[in-house]
Amino acid sequence: MNGGHDLGGMHGLGPVEAEPGEPPFHEEWERRAFALTLAMGFHGAWNIDASRHARENRHPVDYLSSSYYELWLKGLERLLAERGIVDPAEIGHGHAAGPRPEGMRPAHDPETAAAILARGGDARRDGAAPPRFRPGDRVLVRERAVPGHTRAPRYCRGRVGTVDRDHGGFVLPDTNAHGLGEAPQHCYSVRFAARTLWGEAASPHDAVYVDLWDGYLEPAP
């Protein structure tokens, strides 16, 4: 989606302000929001692409004025509501109005959770269609205004780059975020000259590398 999350190349957002000695969390509620998001993710009621979409799919003013873990919380609340796991009214009351939904397993204990973290989630898949591009190929990023989730940033759409490497077959976020299957495709690192993206003001030496799926690309004319 052409949302408020797609920030590459925007002006006016100010200087980068680093905080020396920054702690991992600033507030207790950030710790809990982070951990609740991970713990609920372990249930498999949604995937990582759906959870990214739940955070980004909102009014750009809401997106840009929410703190990072506030967006995590809003995303989690939405995923829980959409799937009928927690009604917003239950959060308002601070108590569960009903039991655990049928088909959901009980909470993961700490050991199981640690094992899930250690295993991670492999997004590489066999069974992708053969790659249409090879390293060295010049490719054009298709112009597509996708209303749902996609990982082709606006700043590279319609631009020509060169395939730097083929990462192999990966789950396609565009379908996976919407429950439409993993539909694996090859994913490539595509190199764009900075001047192709930003014009003469950019350094002639610099480049941006973007990871893009096969279907986002077509052969450069």
Kindly state the smallest distance separating residue 165's Cβ from other proteins, in Å.
Answer: 9
SS3 25: coil
Q: How far apart are CA 72 and CA 80, in angstroms?
A: 12
Q: Which stretch binds other proteins (CB under 8 A): 25-33, 130-138, 139-147?
A: 25-33
Task: Count the helix, strand and coil residues of the chain and give each as a percent rounded to the nearest 5.
Answer: 35, 15, 50
User: Which x/- pattern, by CB under 8 A, does the window 152-181 give for other proteins?
Assistant: xx-x-----------x--xx-x--------
Residue closest to 1 by CA, chosen among 56, 67, 52, 76: 56
Which residues on neighbouring strands pair with residue 185, listed in sequence order? Answer: 170
Q: Which stretch binds other proteins (CB under 8 A): 10-18, 128-136, 140-148?
A: 10-18
Q: How far apart are CA 76 and CA 84, in angstroms?
A: 12
Q: How does DSSP assign 28-57, residue by residue? A: HHHHHHHHHHHHHHTTTSS-HHHHHHHHHS
Kindly state the smallest distance separating residue 137's Cβ from other proteins, in Å.
Answer: 18
User: Which x/- pattern, by CB under 8 A, does the window 80-119 give for other proteins?
Assistant: -x---xx-xxxxxxxxx-xxx---x-xxxxx-xxx-xxxx
Tell me which of 17, 102, 126, 200 binds other proteins, using CB under 8 A: 17
Residue nearer to other proteins on the CB measure, 125 or 137: 125
Q: Which stretch binds other proteins (CB under 8 A): 65-73, 130-138, 140-148?
A: 65-73
Residue nearer to other proteins on the CB measure, 112 or 134: 112
Q: How far apart are CA 94 and CA 91, in angstroms?
A: 5
Residue nearer to other proteins on the CB measure, 16 or 221: 16
Residue nearer to other proteins on the CB measure, 46 or 151: 151
SS3 205: coil
Residues 126-155 that bind other proteins (CB under 8 A): 151-153, 155
Residue closest to 74 by CA, chosen among 57, 61, 98: 57
Residue nearer to other proteins on the CB measure, 142 or 209: 209
Residues 6 or more apart whose Cβ sits within 8 Å of residue 151: 173, 174, 211, 212, 213
Kindly state the smallest distance separating residue 221's Cβ from other proteins, in Å.
Answer: 24
Residue nearer to other proteins on the CB measure, 28 or 221: 28
